[in-house]
């Protein structure tokens, strides 16, 4: 991986989270924000898998796009390595396995990789020349990127309709431009509501242990000129008790058929606080986040991450020796806590099982 | 204030949180733990108020004792400054005001200062010589210290009876030896349960922003040889959903007549998770924590602290410029979330209003 540090600050208008170039992909390095704006050049699917694993790129829709870009990089390398269609296919399938395994919880990654593989299979069946296949895979990956951006604009419009005037919106982790092709899912709704004059404050949970809320959501909203207040993850119950919050909007990494939604660890505690105080809790996620193979959220695999993330902050350990750590990366908010799921096709209300099928077919 | 760094590590057996000496008081510096074990010498009530405010000493019972020690320091200084009974009294009353205001939420501070002032008044009415008053105030302050220790042992015994075998106990902040004269309130129950072979694991919320759970509870339990697992504040809902927790035990900073209990920010979110999953949520607090002048927890003043605590960790800022902060130090867990309040006189079960009066009368 190569690092490129920008000399000019990135503003909202020219923020690019992921880009595909003729020889490589670039990722905005989210582990360096908000202190440093730098891009990482990714030349191989192996480097892409590592970037996903180490959270240089993170956010369910963004890692889906990153996975698709990884398949393109794989195809380009395979084209140079072999003339055999079979070897070309096997090369890409092996890299696809690596990419799929880089993070287990967000299904968008598997969805995007599988979409690329399915398209590859149709091109191979049609006996498309390998060089042309590589071009077409790049076009498909860029289509996934563009569709995600358009889905976010649509979610923004649908979601904003749900909000009252002067809404004070609580969110967790980062489901913003940085987690997607741009605009964001939960923060896409915030952006649209703010543009309509309907959002007066965003409360951002800092989101321990990786602080995506404190580092990324705050940075992104400050850039956009949207008022944002940073709070610790344990404050939401108190704030709702004090009547400070009108709605919660979060993203999702995987949604089961019954509406149970996996998202960054801490989301479920926020949902419980919202439920206890009658504050509507919305999930904003593109349809690529749904996993209809799962009956309920209990089946969603939950990634466990390194102890170091909890023992300290940014590599500075604060906890004493001799302590154990439990560090699940995600939790599952049961459908009964969710007032509505905002998708690019519209808002799905309970009962989710029936209404999901109607809207998403 | 003077710093004394110990050359030998403090073990559980010789841990002294607060001590009163002929010329000064010493406090174990809790802002330096777990990295460094050092004691701070306190010679004036002003220095004591500052130590309370900056959390060199923290925990409701401990700051009560610190307040009582502060009155003794005040009386000693007054004795040197004046022969006038009136001036002596006014000097102490002024310092008492300062001590009372050093932190607003924990009522034990006001309780202990007021107990010292009431005793002072009786001694003055009895025309006790001023030098003798100073001696008697020191004896009273040491009695408060000793009573707190004995109360913790009693709470430990009452609380341990509530727990199942092999209990996995979730706690928040530090309600341990470090928050009291010794042994601890919530962690006093843990210590007793562990001694009886009934506690198999303690889950310690790290307790942002000041990390008392991650720094103090973990350190204290590692020292005691009790298994402890550090988790982030947003993980409790997920853990209870997975059936990992048998009981929650926390301390309290002030309990209203109806049983509503103020404690470190984040406690209420933990209580909501416990309630949603049928996990019993216990508060362990000495009777000095009750404020019968308040009908409900809504009347408990909630301290707001500096933005810096939330913007970073240990003075290392991570959040971007331009973000606002909300930093309440405490929250109120409503009585309906509390399965029982463990006091030194026994366990109080709902309905609290009646049962509190019966037990504490």
Domain holding A249: CATH number? Answer: 3.40.50.10470
Q: Which two tokens stand for residue B238?
A: 């997920």
Q: Looking at the predicted structure, is the pLDDT value of residue B5 above 60? A: no
* Residue of A235, A270, A304 to mutate when probing chain B, most B C-beta within 10 A: A235
Nearest by CB to B214, from A268, A319, A326: name it: A319
Taking the model in full, what pTM does it have?
0.95
Q: Closest Cα of chain B to A267: distance in Å?
A: 7
Q: What is the CATH number of the domain that holds A121?
A: 1.20.120.420
Q: Are residues B293 and B332 in the same domain?
A: yes
Q: Which residues of B touch A310 (CB under 8 A)?
A: 206, 230-232
| pLDDT of amino acid B102 | 97
Nearest by CB to B269, from A218, A237, A331: name it: A237
- Among residues of chain B, what percentage have pLDDT more than 90? 93
- Among residues of chain A, what percentage have pLDDT more than 90? 93
Q: Domain span at residue A335? A: 158-360
Q: Looking at the predicted structure, is the pLDDT value of residue B1 above 80? A: no
What does the pLDDT average to over A231-255?
A: 98
CB contact burial A77-106 (16+ within 10 A = b; e otherwise): bbbeeeeeeeebbebbeebbebbbebbbbb
Under DSSP, is residue B133 helix (H, G, I), strand (E, B) or coil? helix
**Interchain CB contact of B250 with A (< 8 Å):** no
The residue in chain A having the minimum alpha-carbon distance to the alpha carbon of residue B218 is A323
Q: Which two tokens stand for residue B108?
A: 């034990």
| pLDDT of amino acid B53 | 97
**Interchain CB contact of A323 with B (< 8 Å):** yes
Average pLDDT, chain B: 95
Taking the C-alpha atoms of residue B80 and residue B89, their distance in angstroms, rounded to an integer, is 13
Q: Which residues of B touch A269 (CB under 8 A)?
A: 233-237, 269, 272-273
φ, ψ dihedrals at B268, nearest 5°: -65, -40
Q: Are residues A36 and A173 in the same domain?
A: no
Q: Which two tokens stand for residue A25?
A: 């992909």
* Residue of B34, B262, B301, B319 to mutate when probing chain A, most A C-beta within 10 A: B319
Q: Are residues A211 and A92 in the same domain?
A: no
- In B286-305, the residues whose Cβ lies within 8 Å of chain A are 302
As a dihedral over the C-alpha atoms of residue B154, residue B158, residue B160, residue B161, rounded to 10 degrees, the angle is 150
Q: Looking at the predicted structure, is the pLDDT value of residue B13 above 80? A: no
Distance from CA of residue A110 to its chain's centroid? 13
Q: Which residues of A touch B232 (CB under 8 A)?
A: 208-209, 233, 265-266, 310, 327
Which of A278, A277, A253, A256 is closest to A267 using CA atoms?
Answer: A253
| pLDDT of amino acid B358 | 85
Q: Are residues A127 and A213 in the same domain?
A: no
Q: Are residues A215 and A325 in the same domain?
A: yes
Is A270's CB within 8 Å of B234's CB? yes
Which of A58, A22, A59 is closest to A41 using CA atoms?
Answer: A22
Under DSSP, is residue B243 helix (H, G, I), strand (E, B) or coil? coil
Work out how many domains chain A is built from and give that number: 2
Q: Which residues of A touch B225 (CB under 8 A)?
A: none
**Interchain CB contact of B313 with A (< 8 Å):** yes
Q: Are residues B230 and B130 in the same domain?
A: no
Q: Closest Cα of chain B to A29: distance in Å?
A: 16
B253: annotated active-site residue: yes
Q: Are residues B246 and B351 in the same domain?
A: yes
φ, ψ dihedrals at B83, nearest 5°: -105, -10
Stretch (H or E) spanning B218: helix B218-224
Under DSSP, is residue B9 helix (H, G, I), strand (E, B) or coil? coil
Is B233's CB within 8 Å of A236's CB? no
Asked if A283 and A253 touch (Cβ cutoff 8 Å), the reply is no
Contacts of A170 (CB under 8 A, 6+ apart): A202, A203, A205, A236, A239, A245, A247, A248, A249, A270, A274, A279
Q: Catalytic residues of A, which ones?
A: 253
* Residue of A204, A269, A334 to mutate when probing chain B, most B C-beta within 10 A: A269
For B302-348, the pLDDT digits (tens) are 999 999 999 998 888 999 999 999 999 999 999 999 999 999 999 99
Q: Are residues A280 and A321 in the same domain?
A: yes
Q: Looking at the predicted structure, is the pLDDT value of residue B8 above 90? A: no
Q: Looking at the predicted structure, is the pLDDT value of residue B275 above 80? A: yes
Distances (CA, A) of A152 to A188, A286, B128, B322: 6, 7, 78, 25
Q: Looking at the predicted structure, is the pLDDT value of residue B7 above 50? A: no
Give the end of a domain, one of B107, B126, B152: B152
For A272-330, the pLDDT digits (tens) are 999 999 999 999 999 999 999 999 999 999 999 999 999 998 888 999 999 999 999 99
Helix, strand and coil content of chain B, in percent to the nearest 5, comes to 45, 20, 35
Give the end of a domain, one of A152, A177, A197: A152
Q: Looking at the predicted structure, is the pLDDT value of residue B4 above 90? A: no
ipTM of the modeled complex: 0.95
Q: Are residues B114 and B235 in the same domain?
A: no
What does the pLDDT average to over B205-216?
A: 98
Q: Looking at the predicted structure, is the pLDDT value of residue A5 above 70? A: no
For B17-36, the pLDDT digits (tens) are 999 999 999 999 999 999 99
**Interchain CB contact of A125 with B (< 8 Å):** no
Give the end of a domain, one of B112, B135, B152: B152
Q: Are residues B144 and B178 in the same domain?
A: no
Contacts of A357 (CB under 8 A, 6+ apart): none
Q: Are residues B231 and B352 in the same domain?
A: yes
For A75-124, the pLDDT digits (tens) are 999 999 999 999 999 999 999 999 999 999 999 999 999 999 999 999 99
Nearest by CB to B318, from A215, A322, A331: name it: A215
Q: What is residue B345's DSSP assignment? A: T
| pLDDT of amino acid A356 | 87
Average pLDDT, chain A: 95
Q: Are residues B218 and B333 in the same domain?
A: yes
Taking the C-alpha atoms of residue A336 and residue A333, their distance in angstroms, rounded to an integer, is 8
């Amino acid at each position: 991986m190569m690092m490129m540090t920008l000399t000019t600050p990135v503003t909202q208008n020219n923020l690019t989270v992921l880009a595909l170039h003729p020889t490589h992909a670039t990722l905005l390095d989210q582990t360096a924000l908000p202190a440093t704006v730098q891009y990482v050049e990714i030349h191989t699917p192996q480097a892409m898998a590592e970037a996903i694993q180490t959270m240089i790129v993170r956010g369910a829709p963004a890692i889906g796009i990153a996975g698709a870009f990884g398949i393109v990089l794989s195809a380009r390398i395979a084209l140079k390595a072999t003339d055999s269609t079979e070897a070309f296919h096997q090369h890409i399938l092996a890299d696809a396995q690596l990419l799929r395994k880089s993070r287990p919880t967000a299904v968008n990654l598997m969805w995007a990789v599988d979409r690329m593989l399915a398209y590859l299979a149709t091109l191979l069946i049609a006996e498309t020349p390998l060089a042309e296949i590589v071009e077409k895979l790049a076009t498909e990956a860029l289509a996934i990127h563009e569709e995600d951006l358009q889905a976010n604009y649509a979610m923004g419009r649908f979601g904003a309709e749900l909000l009252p005037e002067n809404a004070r919106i609580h969110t967790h982790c980062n489901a913003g431009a940085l987690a997607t092709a741009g605009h964001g899912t939960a923060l896409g709704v915030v952006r649209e509501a703010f543009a309509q004059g309907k959002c007066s404050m965003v409360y951002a949970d800092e989101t321990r242990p990786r602080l995506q809320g404190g580092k990324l959501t705050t940075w992104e909203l400050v850039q956009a000129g949207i008022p944002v207040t940073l709070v610790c993850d344990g404050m939401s119950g108190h704030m709702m008790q004090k009547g400070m919050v009108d709605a919660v909007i979060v993203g999702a990494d995987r949604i089961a058929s019954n509406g149970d939604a996996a998202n960054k660890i801490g989301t479920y505690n926020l949902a419980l606080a919202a439920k206890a105080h009658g504050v509507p809790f919305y999930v904003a996620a593109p349809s690529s986040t749904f996993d209809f193979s799962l009956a309920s959220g209990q089946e969603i695999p939950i990634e466990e991450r390194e102890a170091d993330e909890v023992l300290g902050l940014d590599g500075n350990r604060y906890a004493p020796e001799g302590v154990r750590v439990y560090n699940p990366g995600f939790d599952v908010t049961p459908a009964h806590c969710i007032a509505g799921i905002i998708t690019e096709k519209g808002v799905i209300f309970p009962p989710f099982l029936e209404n999901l099928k109607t809207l998403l077919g």
